[in-house]
Amino acid sequence: MKQRDLSPSACEPCPPGERRKWSRKGLLPVTLGLSALAYAYTGFHLTNLPGAAGVHAFLLLFAWLFLLYVMAVRTLATQHFCIQPGCVAALVVLVGTGFRLLVLPAGIPDGITPAKLHADLTGKEVVFNRFLLYDHDLWRFLWDGHQQALGLNPYQYPPACFLEPDDALEWGLTSVPAAERARLLPNDHWRDIHAHINHPDLPTAYPPDSSSCSA
């Protein structure tokens, strides 16, 4: 198997006849920049889009990112780069951390204060919906904990029981009294969480947390 020349002489500027091959290396920073823009779009614009709109946006975005990934891999596989292994590891960590930071703002509304953000992160208040586009389990987890915190049994009441009587009847269920509906759905944040729950006609299927039980 032919080994690549990693000697210092191999890192010298290319002869004029090979400049076109080396120019392909410019694809790497280009793909890196376009990927960063896509992740920035995810963080600052793509939130919990309901229905088909969210699915289409998500699929198009990650199809684009996959195409950029293929371009980067092909560039690395066909071009000679004089980069030390330690520099490669540092670059991977740096780029990976940067892309994660770009996604962090996903779902945070404009004008949020540090106090509200702290209240949300500590569980005292639901201030914003994070980027939870396709994980229905998380909505159920939030609702189950919400019910339990207010003294209700999540195995007894399906989420649809907290809809208006006519809406609950469409699921074949009887709505709880209006006072209970108001207690469980006190504001738009909890109503939004409730609306995202999958299979609202069924009680939770998740078992109790055995780690909270004493031996």
pLDDT attached to residue 136: 72
Cβ proximity of 120 and 126 under 8 Å? yes
Say whether pTM exceeds 0.75.
no
- For residue 86, CA distances in Å to 10, 82, 91, 97 come to 19, 12, 9, 17
**What pLDDT shows up at residue 32?**
80
Q: What is the pLDDT of residue 137?
A: 81
Please, are residues 161 and 176 in contact by the beta-carbon 8 Å criterion?
yes
Taking 70 as the pLDDT cut, the residues of the chain under it are: 1-25, 43-55, 79-83, 104-110, 123, 126-135, 209-215
CA 73 to chain centre: 24
pLDDT for the residue numbered 72: 80
Angle at 209 between CA 204 and CA 211, to 5 degrees: 175
pLDDT of 23 = 53
φ, ψ (nearest 5 deg) of residue 2 = -75, 130
Contacts of 76 (CB under 8 A, 6+ apart): 28
